[in-house]
Amino acid sequence: MPLEAPLAPVETRIAALNTRYKHHSATSVIERALSDAEVGRTAMVSSFGAESVVLLHMVSIMDRTTPVLFIDTEMLFPETLDYQSELAEKLHLSDIRTVKASRQDILIHDNEGLLHLHDSDACCDLRKTRPLEKALEPFDAWITGRKRYQGGKRVEIEFFENEMDKRIKINPLAHWSRDDLQDYITENRLPRHPLVAQGYPSIGCKPCTSKVMQGEDERAGRWRDQDKTECGIHFLNGKMVRGSAA
């Protein structure tokens, strides 16, 4: 059996992919990304949060055997764990891989489960960033649910991003609006995360997620009153990955 040809450098492939799929829809980006040789081995990373069902549904239609990496920080809302089980069954996703920090790392760095109270960045690094980085090692690319309308560091994201010349980050919903997401969920009769109706439009770990008041940004409830807007999975080696340049 012939060996697979090595992939070109990430930056070279990013430029070609963004040009090739510039005017494509989200579903086309996913469909092509899962079969395009220039993308390589691809996984999806999902929090099974407020809007996750959109991408999960799209992937289940294209290829339900796509590996889905679910980061369980062991500090999630019980409703999120129930929702994850519900969607896995409903969408017939056959390769969901639960990602957790090792017991040894938890015992060494956060034995009492209180690290988030005095260093939320360290907690995210321990329970999210490092476990995910290890889980992504076999892959050349990963699918995320980031969107430009979410603001902050996300306002200029493209369909394909360079993650530190290491792998490709795919953002199929980059150009979608909040209304696009809600319309898709309604039209496809998809189940919503139970906490959305209770005032949680963006859902992370229970200790660091609060309800959002009317008129607030939808991510205002994440790390409220902290100078922090990202959990860390969009960092690599402690550095923010911004657009196509890191």
b/e map 137-168, b = 16+ CB within 10 Å: eebbbbbbbbbbbbeeebeebbbbbbbeebbb
Q: What is the dihedral of CA 183, 185, 187, 190, to 10 degrees?
A: -170
pLDDT at site 57? 97
Full-model pTM: 0.85
Give the domain 10-226 fold: Rossmann fold (3.40.50)
Beta bridge partners of 239: 236
| H or E segment to which residue 239 belongs | strand 239-240
Q: What is the mean pLDDT of residues 169-195?
A: 94
pLDDT at site 153? 66
DSSP string, 152-186: GGGTT--SEEEETTTEEEE-TTTT--HHHHHHHHH
Question: Which ranges of 25-175 would DSSP assign to H, the alpha helix?
Answer: 26-33, 52-63, 78-90, 103-109, 115-118, 120-124, 130-135
How far is it, in rounded angstroms, from Cα 148 to Cα 78? Answer: 29
Of 131, 136, 138, 70, the residue nearest 103 (C-alpha):
131
Is 3 a residue whose pLDDT tops 60?
Answer: no
Output phi, psi for 57, to 5 deg.
Answer: -65, -45
Q: Any idea where the domains of the chain sit in the sequence?
A: 10-226
| H or E segment to which residue 187 belongs | helix 178-187
Q: Note the pLDDT tens digit of each residue in 140-151.
A: 999 998 887 766
What's the mean per-residue pLDDT of the chain? 86
Residues forming the active site:
231
How far is it, in rounded angstroms, from Cα 169 to Cα 166? Answer: 10
pLDDT band for 96, please (50, 70, 90 cuts): very high
How far is it, in rounded angstroms, from Cα 112 to Cα 224? Answer: 22
Q: Note the pLDDT tens digit of each residue in 100-148.
A: 999 999 999 999 999 999 888 899 999 999 999 999 999 999 999 888 7
Range in 174-183, 184-193, 226-235, 236-245 with the lowest mean pLDDT: 236-245
